[in-house]
Structure 1
């Protein structure tokens, strides 16, 4: 596959094409204007001669007077040696004519119709002539009209136009080449900001994502491109940061159970043990393996969600009934913690029962786990702007505002130092909930203040169609 032509080359060729077109158009306009000028100049000269000649032949001469008339014409036009005159009667008899046959008599008769003078041009013996021909009515009523013509040699006009054309044929290619050269230089200078963007983009690596393109140093036409590239770099930097944090968190979550398993196994293998001791160690190992299994299952689900989790089936769901079923499941835990449960509102949406129940279960479990003893967990269902809003709130410690956006990050549990083990979960519940709500074309956000934390879910009444 051939490599595309560079932008500099394209601009240079465009400069050459445009300049050549403009110069050719200008040359044609000037050539036409010069030719028209010569035509008007010749017409003015010939009209003045026709007027004089018409005055001389108003009275038709007798045969004996032709010599005198010829002499009078020659004397009158002696200052114009290039001027040739011709007078012919209607029956084709020449009254005045040059010694050599110069005038095309048939064409003169054709152009002499009417009383207005007409221009005529022709070639004769390698020279070009232009004439003005007119029909003159003599003063004698019974005398037929006369055809009167005055002609001049316009070789000097033709020579000027030829020289003019030759000059343009040399100047236009030179000017087009010069325009292309200047256009190439202008394109090179004009594309400097693109090369600056290229250099900055080349300096961006996985370990150096802080580089940004200089939006203020590029032309206005490239500001949008630079801004969008900077936004892309911001997203990449954030993605790399999240990926790095995820790798660190995943290593931490996997290290603890693996370390426990390894330590217990080494201790047990250090000497012989009784059957009850082996059973105790195996039971402890099963707990750690169960924790690892849950982490791996949740991570597999999130990996699928990031590539677009599909909804296997859709059905109508009464959110009030779903919440009531979940309350029955968590009633024992709530009673143990001294937390009261309540719900209000009703709404019917369309979605997948298992997926939405898991999302709501995660929210209730999170609310119960972080609610203060003797507190209250409430679920409120509202119809808002054609969508369904479901709020889960609990009474507990206020979450700092800067931590709220990170609650849906994987493994985030509000303790960056990881100084405390939380056996109730591994920090994936809210991330899974976010993925499930997003799969139903919904949104979820967290709010916290005055000892109350809320998770607000907005769901459309109709979920996306399931994939086949």
Structure 2
């Protein structure tokens, strides 16, 4: 299995590619600029010589003869041995020509006919020449317009450009390799924060979840990543803490009924007993087994909620009627505890009847257990355009502020609930966790607050649940 190239390798190759492209582009621009400079320099030299010839031909020497013209031209350019002069008439008759090189006489008429005299180059005997042609009307009597061409050897330009190109051919690869090396060093140095984050992440273990990535010492581009990873570690630490607490609480909750069953069974088997005694022991065992069965059922329900609890069916519900039915069920318990029940408001929404009835039953059971004697439990239903709010209040000892962060955790029970007699729901510490799972399965939320001797659980539900499914997920 091949692994993708590292970031350092990718950045190094990118540096080499970019630097090579920039250097090649710069070399091309410089080459064109130098070449253009030589051309303009030669144009200036040749143009000045053509102008001199033009003045000479328009103001001929004292002997207005061809031989006198030739002698005057040769004498004038004696100080410029590199220059070559070629003169011919319009009909092709050569008046003046150097021994070498041979001028491309057939091209001169076209070159000289332009508005701006054009430069042209040609090779002769291994050397390169650049020339300029122009048409001149001489002052000599009887002469037709002349085509004058002046040329210069540009071998020294060619040798300079050859050395220049050779230098670039050597320099560009060297510069690209150097850029790659410097890019590699820069990439390794720039990726140090990533290696530091890797080392910190590697130090995170199940026994050391408090390690966090350094957000202040990493570049701005990595600050967001470090922040999100730290948030993930916070969530993992919190989930691990809850899982550890859940495991210990589950072991504690199951140990009591199992221990009771084992003790009762051992005592029952220690000697022969009457039928009535056996019936009493079996009845006590049945109670403990029922407690275990309800606990296991609740845990299975919460396990499904962890994997995305879905609604088996959805129907229209009148919340005020459902609350009235629950009041009839809890009326005897409320009368026994000396607690009054009251409800206000009406609302209609769509949801799963059994699940919502279970959720509100848990809330009422919890409120009755924590209401003080002679107190009250009140349910207030409020309709909004797209949501329905249900507040379940009870008078009594308020919850401590630190309990609100844990009240919906599994097996968590407020201190007062541990000593009160158990009501209809048994007080396993799972009721509020199940209630929150049901409310969230409907797309709603639940919060709790306690002040001035009143504890309130506020449930907010959408009129239409956020998910519909044909059955519960496993």
Q: TM-score, normalized by length of structure 2?
A: 0.95
1:301 Cα offset (Å)? 0.3
Number of the residue aligned with 2:298: 298
Is 2:11 aligned against 1:44? no
Runs of 4+ in structure 1 displaced over 4 angstroms?
Answer: 59-64, 140-143, 418-422
CA RMSD of superposed structures (Å): 1.9
**Paired position in structure 2 for 1:446:** 448
Cα deviation, residue 463, structure 1: 0.7
Distance in 1 (alpha carbons) for counterparts of 2:156 and 2:205: 74
- Per-residue CA deviations over 1:100-132 (Å, capped at 9, x if unaligned) read 451101111111114532211111111111111
Q: Cα distance, 1:465 vs. partner?
A: 3.9
> Where does residue 145 of structure 1 map in the other structure?
145
**1:275 — aligned with what?**
275
Correspondence for 1:426 among 422, 425, 428: 428
CA gap of 1:369–1:420, structure 2 versus 1, over 3 A, is closer
CA contact (8 A) 2:362 2:432 kept: yes
Question: Number of residue pairs matched?
Answer: 467
Query: Which structure 2 residues correspond to residues 55-454 of structure 1 after superposition, within 5 A?
Result: 55-58=55-58, 65-100=65-100, 102-139=102-139, 143-384=143-384, 386-415=386-415, 420=419, 423=422, 424-454=426-456
Distance 1:108 1:349, change over 3 A: same
2:60–2:69 Cα contact (<8 Å) kept: no
Q: CA 1:39–1:77 in structure 2 vs 1: closer, same or farther (change >3 Å)? A: same
- Residues in 2 aligned to 1:5 and 1:218: alpha-carbon distance in whole angstroms: 23
Is 174-183 or 99-108 further displaced after alignment? 99-108
SS in 2 for 1:317: strand
Confirm or deny: 8 A CA contact 1:115 1:136 kept in the other structure: no
2-structure distance, mates of 1:129, 1:437: 94
Give 1:386 shift. Answer: 2.7
Contact 1:115 1:134 in 2 (8 A): no
Partner Cα separation in structure 2 for residue 182 and residue 101 of structure 1:
52
In 2, the alpha carbon distance for the partners of 1:422 and 1:64 equals 143
1:420-458 Cα offsets, whole Å, 9 max, x none, are: 586431000000000000000000000101110000000
Q: Cα deviation per residue 1:276-330 (whole Å; 9 max; x = unaligned)?
A: 1111101100000000000000000000011011101111111111111111111
Q: Structure 1: how far apart are the matches of 2:442 and 2:155?
A: 89
How far apart are the structure 2 equivalents of 1:131 and 1:81? 15
5+ residue gaps, structure 1:
none
1:243 and 1:311 mapped to 2: Cα distance? 26
